[in-house]
Protein backbone atom coordinates (compact mmCIF):
# COMPACT_ATOMS: atom_id res chain seq x y z
CA UNK A 1 0.00 0.00 0.00
CA UNK A 2 2.82 2.42 0.89
CA UNK A 3 4.68 1.66 -2.31
CA UNK A 4 1.59 2.43 -4.37
CA UNK A 5 0.95 5.62 -2.40
CA UNK A 6 4.55 6.75 -3.02
CA UNK A 7 4.08 6.23 -6.77
CA UNK A 8 0.81 8.20 -6.67
CA UNK A 9 2.57 10.94 -4.68
CA UNK A 10 5.35 11.13 -7.28
CA UNK A 11 2.96 11.70 -10.18
CA UNK A 12 0.74 13.92 -8.06
CA UNK A 13 3.79 16.15 -7.47
CA UNK A 14 4.54 16.26 -11.21
CA UNK A 15 0.95 17.22 -11.94
CA UNK A 16 1.16 20.00 -9.35
CA UNK A 17 4.29 21.43 -11.01
CA UNK A 18 2.47 21.70 -14.33
CA UNK A 19 -0.70 23.06 -12.72
CA UNK A 20 1.18 25.72 -10.73
CA UNK A 21 2.98 26.91 -13.87
CA UNK A 22 -0.44 27.13 -15.55
CA UNK A 23 -1.84 29.08 -12.58
CA UNK A 24 1.07 31.54 -12.71
CA UNK A 25 0.47 32.00 -16.45
CA UNK A 26 -3.23 32.60 -15.84
CA UNK A 27 -2.44 35.15 -13.12
CA UNK A 28 -0.14 37.07 -15.43
CA UNK A 29 -2.59 36.93 -18.29
CA UNK A 30 -5.39 38.13 -16.02
CA UNK A 31 -3.33 40.99 -14.61
CA UNK A 32 -2.41 42.23 -18.08
CA UNK A 33 -6.06 42.08 -19.14
CA UNK A 34 -6.98 44.36 -16.20
CA UNK A 35 -6.22 47.37 -18.36
CA UNK A 36 -9.31 46.50 -20.40
CA UNK A 37 -11.34 46.28 -17.19
CA UNK A 38 -10.01 49.58 -15.86
CA UNK A 39 -11.17 51.29 -19.02
CA UNK A 40 -14.65 49.82 -18.76
CA UNK A 41 -17.53 50.54 -16.42
CA UNK A 42 -16.64 47.37 -14.47
CA UNK A 43 -14.67 49.12 -11.73
CA UNK A 44 -14.21 52.42 -9.98
CA UNK A 45 -10.77 52.99 -11.57
CA UNK A 46 -8.83 52.10 -8.40
CA UNK A 47 -6.46 49.16 -8.81
CA UNK A 48 -7.42 47.10 -5.75
CA UNK A 49 -11.13 47.23 -6.51
CA UNK A 50 -10.50 46.29 -10.13
CA UNK A 51 -8.43 43.26 -9.15
CA UNK A 52 -10.83 42.05 -6.46
CA UNK A 53 -13.95 42.38 -8.57
CA UNK A 54 -12.52 41.63 -12.00
CA UNK A 55 -13.42 38.46 -13.84
CA UNK A 56 -10.07 38.49 -15.68
CA UNK A 57 -8.52 36.54 -12.80
CA UNK A 58 -11.31 33.94 -12.61
CA UNK A 59 -9.35 31.25 -14.52
CA UNK A 60 -6.42 31.73 -12.08
CA UNK A 61 -8.79 31.60 -9.13
CA UNK A 62 -10.42 28.41 -10.45
CA UNK A 63 -7.12 26.57 -10.95
CA UNK A 64 -5.84 27.83 -7.60
CA UNK A 65 -8.97 26.76 -5.75
CA UNK A 66 -8.78 23.32 -7.34
CA UNK A 67 -5.12 23.01 -6.31
CA UNK A 68 -5.95 24.01 -2.74
CA UNK A 69 -8.76 21.47 -2.38
CA UNK A 70 -6.81 18.68 -4.07
CA UNK A 71 -3.90 19.37 -1.70
CA UNK A 72 -6.01 17.66 0.97
CA UNK A 73 -5.89 14.48 -1.14
CA UNK A 74 -2.13 14.95 -1.56
CA UNK A 75 -1.80 15.14 2.24
CA UNK A 76 -3.79 11.92 2.63
CA UNK A 77 -1.60 10.16 0.05
CA UNK A 78 1.53 11.46 1.81
CA UNK A 79 0.27 10.14 5.15
CA UNK A 80 -0.47 6.73 3.63
CA UNK A 81 2.95 6.64 1.95
CA UNK A 82 4.74 7.76 5.15
CA UNK A 83 8.00 7.74 3.28
CA UNK A 84 11.01 6.33 5.20
CA UNK A 85 13.26 9.16 3.98
CA UNK A 86 12.76 11.90 6.57
CA UNK A 87 13.32 14.80 4.14
CA UNK A 88 10.83 13.43 1.61
CA UNK A 89 8.32 12.74 4.38
CA UNK A 90 8.58 16.25 5.85
CA UNK A 91 8.33 17.97 2.45
CA UNK A 92 5.37 15.80 1.44
CA UNK A 93 3.54 16.79 4.63
CA UNK A 94 4.47 20.50 4.62
CA UNK A 95 3.81 21.28 0.94
CA UNK A 96 0.04 20.56 1.07
CA UNK A 97 -0.24 22.85 4.10
CA UNK A 98 1.62 25.62 2.25
CA UNK A 99 -0.62 24.99 -0.76
CA UNK A 100 -3.68 25.41 1.44
CA UNK A 101 -2.27 28.68 2.81
CA UNK A 102 -2.35 30.12 -0.71
CA UNK A 103 -6.06 30.81 -0.39
CA UNK A 104 -5.50 32.43 3.02
CA UNK A 105 -2.78 34.80 1.77
CA UNK A 106 -4.92 35.81 -1.22
CA UNK A 107 -8.00 36.41 0.93
CA UNK A 108 -6.19 38.59 3.48
CA UNK A 109 -4.65 40.83 0.84
CA UNK A 110 -2.48 43.84 1.65
CA UNK A 111 1.15 43.12 2.48
CA UNK A 112 0.16 39.62 3.62
CA UNK A 113 -1.27 39.09 0.14
CA UNK A 114 2.26 39.65 -1.13
CA UNK A 115 3.10 36.27 0.37
CA UNK A 116 0.71 34.66 -2.13
CA UNK A 117 3.05 34.83 -5.16
CA UNK A 118 6.16 34.21 -3.06
CA UNK A 119 4.59 31.13 -1.49
CA UNK A 120 3.49 29.95 -4.96
CA UNK A 121 7.12 29.81 -6.09
CA UNK A 122 8.19 28.10 -2.84
CA UNK A 123 5.44 25.50 -3.30
CA UNK A 124 6.40 25.06 -6.97
CA UNK A 125 10.00 24.38 -5.94
CA UNK A 126 8.94 21.93 -3.25
CA UNK A 127 6.67 19.94 -5.56
CA UNK A 128 9.42 19.95 -8.20
CA UNK A 129 12.00 18.75 -5.69
CA UNK A 130 9.62 16.09 -4.39
CA UNK A 131 8.97 14.75 -7.90
CA UNK A 132 12.71 14.71 -8.61
CA UNK A 133 13.55 12.94 -5.34
CA UNK A 134 10.82 10.32 -5.74
CA UNK A 135 11.69 9.74 -9.38
CA UNK A 136 15.38 9.45 -8.61
CA UNK A 137 14.79 6.88 -5.95
CA UNK A 138 12.25 5.05 -8.13
CA UNK A 139 9.67 5.24 -5.34
CA UNK A 140 10.81 1.73 -4.45
CA UNK A 141 11.98 2.51 -0.91
CA UNK A 142 8.69 2.46 1.00
CA UNK A 143 7.95 -0.93 2.40
CA UNK A 144 4.48 -2.33 2.69
CA UNK A 145 4.28 -2.69 6.46
The per-residue pLDDT for range 3-45, each reduced to its tens digit, is 899 999 999 999 999 999 999 999 999 988 877 665 665 565 5
Interatomic CA distance for residues 30 and 13, integer angstroms: 25
b/e map of 43-59 (b: 16 or more CB within 10 Å)?
beeeeeebbeebebbeb
Q: Is residue 67 a contact partner of residue 27, using CB atoms and an 8 Å limit?
A: no
Mind listing the pLDDT tens digit for each residue in 45-87? Answer: 555 566 666 788 999 999 999 999 999 999 999 999 999 999 9
Residue 133 has pLDDT above 60, yes or no: yes
Mean of pLDDT values over 93-108: 96
> Of the candidates 145, 126, 103, 118, which has an alpha carbon nearest to the alpha carbon of residue 9?
126
Whole-angstrom Cα distance, residue 135 to residue 130? Answer: 8
Confidence of residue 145 (pLDDT cuts 50, 70, 90): very low
Tell me the C-alpha distance between 44 and 38, whole Å: 8
Domain boundaries, the chain: 2-137
**pLDDT for 54:** 74
Name the packing angle between helices 2-38 and 115-137 (round to 10°): 150
Amino acid sequence: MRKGAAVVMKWFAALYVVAIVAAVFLAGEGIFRLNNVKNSDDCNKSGAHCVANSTTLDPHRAVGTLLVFVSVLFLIVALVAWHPNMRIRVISLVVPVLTFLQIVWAAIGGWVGGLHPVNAFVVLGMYGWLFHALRKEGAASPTST
